[in-house]
């Protein structure tokens, strides 16, 4: 279970770090690069494994993986937003006093 927890923590860290990158508008180049990356190969393996393990279609497995990553991303967006709001409240409170 520890290995799984380490992997989840690694994914969470990657989601947060990925927020730091600037937006690149060369969509075609980016899409081509992503589709031919080792990460995509790993995702294909993950989709196949989830499909086989859960006895579901590959389409459904892919959707579940994407939804899980999006949920993690959403959770961390909310966390970072709330942390920022908390810091702003502290700054305002300190200035008022």
CB 58 within 8 A of CB 45: no
pTM above 0.85, yes or no: no
List the pLDDT tens digit at each of the 97 positions of the chain.
567 888 888 888 888 777 776 666 688 888 899 999 999 999 999 999 999 999 999 999 999 999 999 999 999 999 999 998 888 888 788 777 7
What is the 3-state secondary structure of 9-68?
HHHHHHHHHHCCCCCCCCHHHHHHHHHCCHHHHHHHHHHHHHHHHHCCCHHHHHHHHHHH
Residue 92 has phi, psi (to 5 degrees) of -65, -40
């Amino acid at each position: 279970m520890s290995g799984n927890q380490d992997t989840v923590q690694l994914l969470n860290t990657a989601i947060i770090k990925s927020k730091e990158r600037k937006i690149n508008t060369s969509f075609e180049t980016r899409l081509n690069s992503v589709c031919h990356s080792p990460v995509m190969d790993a995702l294909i393996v993950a989709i196949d494994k989830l499909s086989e393990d859960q006895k579901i279609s590959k389409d459904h497995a892919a959707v579940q993986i994407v939804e899980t990553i999006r949920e993690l991303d959403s959770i961390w967006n909310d966390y970072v937003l709330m942390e920022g709001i908390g810091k702003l409240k502290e700054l305002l409170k300190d200035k008022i006093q």
